[in-house]
Amino acid sequence: MAFRSLATPARKTLRIGLIPADGIGREVIPAARRALEALGSDLPKLEFHNLLAGFDLFTRTGTALPRETVEVLKNGCDAALFGAVSSPSRKVAGYSSPIVALRKELDLYANIRPVASVAPDPKGKPAVDLIVVRENTECLYVKQETLTQTESGKEARATRLITEYASRRIGKMAFELALARPRKQVTIIHKSNVLSVTDGLFRETVRAVPQLPEVAGRFDSVGIAEQIVDSAVYRLFREPEIYDVMVAPNLYGDILSDAAAALVGSLGLVPSVNAGDSFVMGEPVHGSAPDIEGKGIANPLAAIRSAALMLRHLRYEDAADRVDTAVNDVIREGHTLTRDLGGKSSTDEVVEAVLRRL
Protein backbone atom coordinates (compact mmCIF):
# COMPACT_ATOMS: atom_id res chain seq x y z
CA MET A 1 0.00 0.00 0.00
CA ALA A 2 1.36 3.42 -0.92
CA PHE A 3 0.66 6.67 0.86
CA ARG A 4 1.57 10.23 0.19
CA SER A 5 4.88 10.70 1.95
CA LEU A 6 5.09 12.87 5.04
CA ALA A 7 8.84 12.48 5.40
CA THR A 8 11.96 10.93 3.98
CA PRO A 9 13.86 8.15 5.77
CA ALA A 10 17.00 10.32 6.07
CA ARG A 11 16.35 11.45 9.65
CA LYS A 12 18.66 10.36 12.48
CA THR A 13 15.91 10.02 15.10
CA LEU A 14 12.29 8.98 14.68
CA ARG A 15 10.20 10.53 17.47
CA ILE A 16 6.96 8.67 18.21
CA GLY A 17 4.24 9.67 20.66
CA LEU A 18 2.59 6.77 22.50
CA ILE A 19 -0.96 7.35 23.76
CA PRO A 20 -2.32 4.07 25.20
CA ALA A 21 -5.43 5.86 26.59
CA ASP A 22 -7.98 3.39 28.00
CA GLY A 23 -8.63 -0.33 28.45
CA ILE A 24 -6.60 -2.71 26.33
CA GLY A 25 -4.91 0.27 24.70
CA ARG A 26 -2.55 0.06 27.66
CA GLU A 27 -1.66 -3.50 26.62
CA VAL A 28 -1.48 -3.28 22.82
CA ILE A 29 0.45 -0.03 22.42
CA PRO A 30 3.44 -1.42 24.40
CA ALA A 31 3.23 -4.44 22.09
CA ALA A 32 3.46 -2.18 19.04
CA ARG A 33 6.44 -0.41 20.58
CA ARG A 34 8.25 -3.73 21.03
CA ALA A 35 7.68 -4.55 17.36
CA LEU A 36 9.13 -1.20 16.31
CA GLU A 37 12.16 -1.71 18.55
CA ALA A 38 12.75 -5.14 17.01
CA LEU A 39 13.30 -3.60 13.57
CA GLY A 40 16.79 -2.47 14.50
CA SER A 41 18.80 -0.85 11.73
CA ASP A 42 15.81 -0.69 9.37
CA LEU A 43 14.79 2.42 11.31
CA PRO A 44 16.60 5.46 12.70
CA LYS A 45 17.14 5.74 16.42
CA LEU A 46 13.72 5.56 18.08
CA GLU A 47 12.63 8.13 20.65
CA PHE A 48 9.32 7.45 22.41
CA HIS A 49 7.17 9.98 24.26
CA ASN A 50 4.60 8.53 26.68
CA LEU A 51 1.53 10.77 26.60
CA LEU A 52 -1.81 10.91 28.43
CA ALA A 53 -5.40 11.00 27.19
CA GLY A 54 -8.63 9.09 27.70
CA PHE A 55 -11.83 8.73 29.69
CA ASP A 56 -10.02 7.23 32.67
CA LEU A 57 -7.83 10.32 32.78
CA PHE A 58 -10.96 12.50 32.58
CA THR A 59 -12.54 10.75 35.56
CA ARG A 60 -9.38 11.38 37.61
CA THR A 61 -8.47 14.88 36.48
CA GLY A 62 -11.43 16.39 34.64
CA THR A 63 -9.37 16.54 31.41
CA ALA A 64 -9.58 13.94 28.62
CA LEU A 65 -6.88 15.49 26.43
CA PRO A 66 -4.23 17.53 28.24
CA ARG A 67 -2.83 20.46 26.33
CA GLU A 68 0.66 19.07 27.01
CA THR A 69 -0.17 15.94 24.97
CA VAL A 70 -1.20 18.05 21.99
CA GLU A 71 1.86 20.29 22.21
CA VAL A 72 4.29 17.38 22.45
CA LEU A 73 2.71 15.77 19.40
CA LYS A 74 2.84 19.00 17.42
CA ASN A 75 6.33 20.10 18.40
CA GLY A 76 8.20 17.01 19.59
CA CYS A 77 6.98 14.05 17.52
CA ASP A 78 7.14 12.84 13.94
CA ALA A 79 4.23 10.42 14.34
CA ALA A 80 2.13 8.74 17.02
CA LEU A 81 0.31 5.58 18.06
CA PHE A 82 -3.07 5.77 19.82
CA GLY A 83 -4.58 2.83 21.71
CA ALA A 84 -8.29 2.97 22.47
CA VAL A 85 -10.74 5.22 24.27
CA SER A 86 -13.67 4.28 26.53
CA SER A 87 -16.04 7.08 25.56
CA PRO A 88 -19.35 6.43 27.35
CA SER A 89 -22.59 6.05 25.41
CA ARG A 90 -24.32 8.47 27.74
CA LYS A 91 -23.69 12.21 27.98
CA VAL A 92 -21.05 13.09 30.57
CA ALA A 93 -20.81 16.78 31.40
CA GLY A 94 -17.49 18.27 30.29
CA TYR A 95 -16.29 15.17 28.42
CA SER A 96 -15.58 14.80 24.72
CA SER A 97 -13.63 12.08 22.94
CA PRO A 98 -9.86 12.74 22.91
CA ILE A 99 -9.34 10.83 19.65
CA VAL A 100 -11.90 13.02 17.87
CA ALA A 101 -10.22 16.09 19.35
CA LEU A 102 -6.74 14.90 18.29
CA ARG A 103 -7.90 14.37 14.73
CA LYS A 104 -9.07 17.97 14.65
CA GLU A 105 -6.07 19.44 16.49
CA LEU A 106 -3.58 17.73 14.15
CA ASP A 107 -5.78 18.03 11.04
CA LEU A 108 -5.74 14.27 10.53
CA TYR A 109 -8.47 14.40 7.95
CA ALA A 110 -8.21 10.85 6.61
CA ASN A 111 -8.81 7.65 8.51
CA ILE A 112 -7.37 4.88 6.32
CA ARG A 113 -8.44 1.35 7.20
CA PRO A 114 -7.16 -1.55 5.08
CA VAL A 115 -9.02 -4.84 5.48
CA ALA A 116 -7.47 -7.92 3.88
CA SER A 117 -7.72 -11.69 4.18
CA VAL A 118 -4.47 -13.42 5.09
CA ALA A 119 -5.42 -17.05 4.54
CA PRO A 120 -8.07 -18.55 2.21
CA ASP A 121 -11.44 -18.98 3.90
CA PRO A 122 -12.09 -22.70 4.56
CA LYS A 123 -15.76 -22.21 3.60
CA GLY A 124 -14.79 -20.86 0.22
CA LYS A 125 -15.77 -17.25 0.79
CA PRO A 126 -14.09 -14.70 -1.54
CA ALA A 127 -10.84 -13.11 -0.45
CA VAL A 128 -11.08 -9.59 0.97
CA ASP A 129 -8.62 -6.88 -0.04
CA LEU A 130 -10.00 -3.38 0.33
CA ILE A 131 -9.37 -0.03 1.96
CA VAL A 132 -11.99 2.13 3.64
CA VAL A 133 -11.00 5.80 3.39
CA ARG A 134 -13.06 7.67 5.96
CA GLU A 135 -13.32 11.46 6.10
CA ASN A 136 -12.24 12.24 9.64
CA THR A 137 -13.26 15.80 10.51
CA GLU A 138 -16.90 16.37 9.56
CA CYS A 139 -20.30 14.68 9.22
CA LEU A 140 -22.17 14.15 12.51
CA TYR A 141 -18.84 13.91 14.33
CA VAL A 142 -18.66 17.71 14.59
CA LYS A 143 -20.79 16.97 17.70
CA GLN A 144 -23.10 19.95 17.44
CA GLU A 145 -26.15 18.62 19.26
CA THR A 146 -29.01 20.29 21.07
CA LEU A 147 -31.67 18.96 23.40
CA THR A 148 -34.81 21.02 23.96
CA GLN A 149 -38.10 20.49 25.73
CA THR A 150 -41.23 20.86 23.60
CA GLU A 151 -44.91 20.48 24.39
CA SER A 152 -44.81 16.90 23.16
CA GLY A 153 -41.58 15.98 24.95
CA LYS A 154 -37.83 16.22 24.47
CA GLU A 155 -36.42 16.98 21.03
CA ALA A 156 -32.83 16.23 20.05
CA ARG A 157 -31.12 17.65 16.98
CA ALA A 158 -27.66 17.14 15.48
CA THR A 159 -25.88 19.18 12.83
CA ARG A 160 -24.29 17.27 9.97
CA LEU A 161 -21.48 19.14 8.25
CA ILE A 162 -20.21 18.27 4.76
CA THR A 163 -17.95 20.75 2.94
CA GLU A 164 -16.53 20.81 -0.55
CA TYR A 165 -13.06 21.41 0.90
CA ALA A 166 -13.04 18.31 3.11
CA SER A 167 -14.74 16.14 0.49
CA ARG A 168 -12.18 17.16 -2.15
CA ARG A 169 -9.14 16.35 -0.06
CA ILE A 170 -10.48 13.00 1.16
CA GLY A 171 -11.32 12.24 -2.46
CA LYS A 172 -7.75 13.02 -3.50
CA MET A 173 -6.46 10.69 -0.79
CA ALA A 174 -8.72 7.89 -2.01
CA PHE A 175 -7.62 8.33 -5.62
CA GLU A 176 -3.94 8.37 -4.62
CA LEU A 177 -4.38 5.11 -2.74
CA ALA A 178 -6.27 3.51 -5.63
CA LEU A 179 -3.61 4.62 -8.11
CA ALA A 180 -1.02 2.55 -6.24
CA ARG A 181 -3.15 -0.61 -6.19
CA PRO A 182 -3.52 -3.21 -8.97
CA ARG A 183 -7.29 -2.78 -9.44
CA LYS A 184 -7.33 1.04 -9.36
CA GLN A 185 -10.98 1.45 -8.40
CA VAL A 186 -12.65 4.03 -6.15
CA THR A 187 -16.21 3.45 -4.89
CA ILE A 188 -17.96 6.51 -3.44
CA ILE A 189 -20.29 5.63 -0.57
CA HIS A 190 -23.23 7.97 0.02
CA LYS A 191 -26.97 8.28 0.66
CA SER A 192 -27.70 11.10 -1.73
CA ASN A 193 -31.00 9.53 -2.77
CA VAL A 194 -32.27 10.75 0.63
CA LEU A 195 -29.68 13.31 1.79
CA SER A 196 -29.43 15.07 -1.56
CA VAL A 197 -27.76 18.23 -0.19
CA THR A 198 -25.09 16.86 2.19
CA ASP A 199 -24.36 13.48 0.63
CA GLY A 200 -25.03 15.01 -2.77
CA LEU A 201 -22.19 17.48 -2.21
CA PHE A 202 -19.85 14.70 -1.02
CA ARG A 203 -20.67 12.51 -4.03
CA GLU A 204 -20.33 15.28 -6.61
CA THR A 205 -17.10 16.65 -5.13
CA VAL A 206 -15.33 13.27 -5.00
CA ARG A 207 -16.48 12.38 -8.52
CA ALA A 208 -14.97 15.63 -9.78
CA VAL A 209 -11.50 15.03 -8.30
CA PRO A 210 -9.97 13.55 -11.50
CA GLN A 211 -10.98 16.72 -13.40
CA LEU A 212 -9.21 19.09 -11.04
CA PRO A 213 -6.55 21.19 -12.84
CA GLU A 214 -3.87 20.38 -10.26
CA VAL A 215 -4.04 16.62 -10.89
CA ALA A 216 -3.95 17.01 -14.71
CA GLY A 217 -4.87 13.48 -15.82
CA ARG A 218 -3.07 11.79 -12.93
CA PHE A 219 -6.08 9.62 -12.11
CA ASP A 220 -7.19 8.75 -15.63
CA SER A 221 -6.44 5.07 -14.99
CA VAL A 222 -8.61 4.94 -11.84
CA GLY A 223 -12.17 3.71 -12.25
CA ILE A 224 -15.04 5.36 -10.38
CA ALA A 225 -18.11 3.60 -8.99
CA GLU A 226 -20.64 4.59 -6.35
CA GLN A 227 -22.91 2.78 -3.93
CA ILE A 228 -25.75 3.75 -1.61
CA VAL A 229 -24.49 3.05 1.91
CA ASP A 230 -27.12 0.49 2.95
CA SER A 231 -26.63 -1.41 -0.31
CA ALA A 232 -22.87 -1.14 0.19
CA VAL A 233 -23.11 -2.92 3.56
CA TYR A 234 -25.20 -5.69 2.01
CA ARG A 235 -22.81 -6.16 -0.90
CA LEU A 236 -19.80 -5.96 1.43
CA PHE A 237 -20.97 -9.17 3.10
CA ARG A 238 -22.24 -10.84 -0.06
CA GLU A 239 -19.46 -9.99 -2.50
CA PRO A 240 -16.57 -8.14 -0.82
CA GLU A 241 -14.33 -8.86 -3.79
CA ILE A 242 -16.04 -6.08 -5.78
CA TYR A 243 -14.49 -3.37 -3.60
CA ASP A 244 -11.01 -1.90 -3.84
CA VAL A 245 -10.95 1.59 -2.27
CA MET A 246 -14.15 2.78 -0.60
CA VAL A 247 -14.36 6.48 0.26
CA ALA A 248 -17.06 7.68 2.63
CA PRO A 249 -18.16 10.48 4.96
CA ASN A 250 -17.18 10.05 8.60
CA LEU A 251 -20.12 8.05 9.99
CA TYR A 252 -20.50 5.69 7.03
CA GLY A 253 -16.77 5.03 6.97
CA ASP A 254 -16.77 4.18 10.66
CA ILE A 255 -19.59 1.66 10.27
CA LEU A 256 -18.30 0.13 7.04
CA SER A 257 -14.77 -0.50 8.32
CA ASP A 258 -16.01 -2.21 11.48
CA ALA A 259 -18.37 -4.34 9.41
CA ALA A 260 -15.55 -5.25 7.03
CA ALA A 261 -13.49 -6.46 9.98
CA ALA A 262 -16.00 -9.28 10.47
CA LEU A 263 -15.01 -10.60 7.04
CA VAL A 264 -11.42 -11.25 8.11
CA GLY A 265 -12.06 -12.75 11.52
CA SER A 266 -11.80 -10.03 14.15
CA LEU A 267 -11.53 -6.34 14.94
CA GLY A 268 -8.30 -7.39 16.61
CA LEU A 269 -6.69 -7.73 13.17
CA VAL A 270 -7.68 -4.43 11.56
CA PRO A 271 -5.30 -1.46 11.67
CA SER A 272 -5.72 2.16 10.67
CA VAL A 273 -3.88 5.42 10.41
CA ASN A 274 -5.21 8.90 10.95
CA ALA A 275 -3.38 10.89 8.31
CA GLY A 276 -2.99 14.52 7.39
CA ASP A 277 -0.54 16.46 5.27
CA SER A 278 1.99 16.89 8.09
CA PHE A 279 1.37 14.13 10.65
CA VAL A 280 0.25 10.51 10.94
CA MET A 281 -1.11 8.58 13.91
CA GLY A 282 -1.61 4.81 13.91
CA GLU A 283 -4.70 3.48 15.70
CA PRO A 284 -6.09 -0.08 15.91
CA VAL A 285 -9.73 -0.15 14.87
CA HIS A 286 -10.88 -2.08 17.95
CA GLY A 287 -12.17 -0.35 21.06
CA SER A 288 -11.02 -0.38 24.67
CA ALA A 289 -12.67 -3.78 25.40
CA PRO A 290 -13.19 -3.27 29.16
CA ASP A 291 -14.49 -6.86 29.51
CA ILE A 292 -11.00 -8.26 28.85
CA GLU A 293 -8.88 -5.39 30.19
CA GLY A 294 -6.00 -6.58 32.35
CA LYS A 295 -6.52 -10.28 31.56
CA GLY A 296 -3.58 -10.51 29.16
CA ILE A 297 -5.68 -11.91 26.32
CA ALA A 298 -6.12 -8.83 24.09
CA ASN A 299 -5.13 -9.28 20.45
CA PRO A 300 -2.07 -7.07 19.79
CA LEU A 301 -1.95 -7.62 16.03
CA ALA A 302 -4.12 -4.64 15.01
CA ALA A 303 -1.87 -2.30 17.00
CA ILE A 304 1.27 -3.86 15.54
CA ARG A 305 -0.18 -3.56 12.05
CA SER A 306 -1.10 0.06 12.78
CA ALA A 307 2.55 0.71 13.63
CA ALA A 308 3.48 -0.77 10.24
CA LEU A 309 0.96 1.48 8.48
CA MET A 310 2.43 4.46 10.29
CA LEU A 311 5.90 3.48 9.06
CA ARG A 312 4.63 3.01 5.52
CA HIS A 313 3.15 6.50 5.56
CA LEU A 314 6.55 7.81 6.66
CA ARG A 315 8.19 5.94 3.74
CA TYR A 316 9.92 3.27 5.81
CA GLU A 317 8.59 0.67 3.38
CA ASP A 318 11.11 -2.10 4.10
CA ALA A 319 10.49 -1.92 7.84
CA ALA A 320 6.72 -1.93 7.30
CA ASP A 321 7.01 -4.95 4.99
CA ARG A 322 8.94 -6.85 7.65
CA VAL A 323 6.25 -6.21 10.26
CA ASP A 324 3.40 -7.14 7.93
CA THR A 325 5.14 -10.33 6.84
CA ALA A 326 5.79 -11.35 10.45
CA VAL A 327 2.18 -10.74 11.46
CA ASN A 328 0.81 -12.57 8.42
CA ASP A 329 3.06 -15.55 9.09
CA VAL A 330 1.78 -15.80 12.66
CA ILE A 331 -1.83 -15.70 11.43
CA ARG A 332 -1.27 -18.25 8.67
CA GLU A 333 0.51 -20.71 10.95
CA GLY A 334 -2.38 -20.50 13.40
CA HIS A 335 -0.47 -21.87 16.40
CA THR A 336 -0.27 -18.66 18.41
CA LEU A 337 -3.55 -16.77 18.31
CA THR A 338 -5.68 -14.98 20.88
CA ARG A 339 -9.22 -16.05 21.77
CA ASP A 340 -10.97 -13.72 19.34
CA LEU A 341 -9.35 -15.78 16.56
CA GLY A 342 -10.16 -19.14 18.13
CA GLY A 343 -6.79 -19.59 19.85
CA LYS A 344 -5.71 -19.81 23.47
CA SER A 345 -2.56 -17.68 23.47
CA SER A 346 -1.94 -14.64 25.63
CA THR A 347 -1.13 -11.17 24.39
CA ASP A 348 2.53 -11.64 25.31
CA GLU A 349 2.75 -15.01 23.56
CA VAL A 350 1.43 -13.49 20.32
CA VAL A 351 3.86 -10.58 20.60
CA GLU A 352 6.76 -13.00 21.15
CA ALA A 353 5.69 -15.00 18.09
CA VAL A 354 5.80 -11.83 15.97
CA LEU A 355 9.15 -10.76 17.43
CA ARG A 356 10.72 -14.14 16.64
CA ARG A 357 9.89 -13.57 12.98
CA LEU A 358 11.35 -10.07 13.08
Q: Which residues are catalytic?
A: 141, 191, 230, 254, 258
- Cβ contacts of residue 90 below 8 Å, gap of 6+? none
* Cα distance between residue 325 and residue 301, in whole Å: 12
**Cα–Cα distance between 155 and 178 in angstroms, integer?**
42
φ/ψ of 83, rounded to 5, equals -85, -90
How many C-beta atoms lie closer than 10 Å to residue 301's C-beta? 32
- The alpha carbon of residue 13 and the mean position of all alpha carbons in its chain are separated, in whole angstroms, by 25
Strand locations in 10-128 (E)? 13-21, 45-50, 79-84, 110-116
Pairing type for strands 110-116 and 129-135 reads: antiparallel
The residue ranges of DSSP E strands in 66-192, in sequence order, are 79-84, 110-116, 129-135, 145-150, 153-158, 185-190
- How far CA 160 is from CA of 117, 134, 140, in Å, comes to 34, 15, 5
Is residue 256 within 8 Å of residue 236, measured between CB atoms? Answer: yes
Which element (helix H / strand E) includes 228? strand 223-228
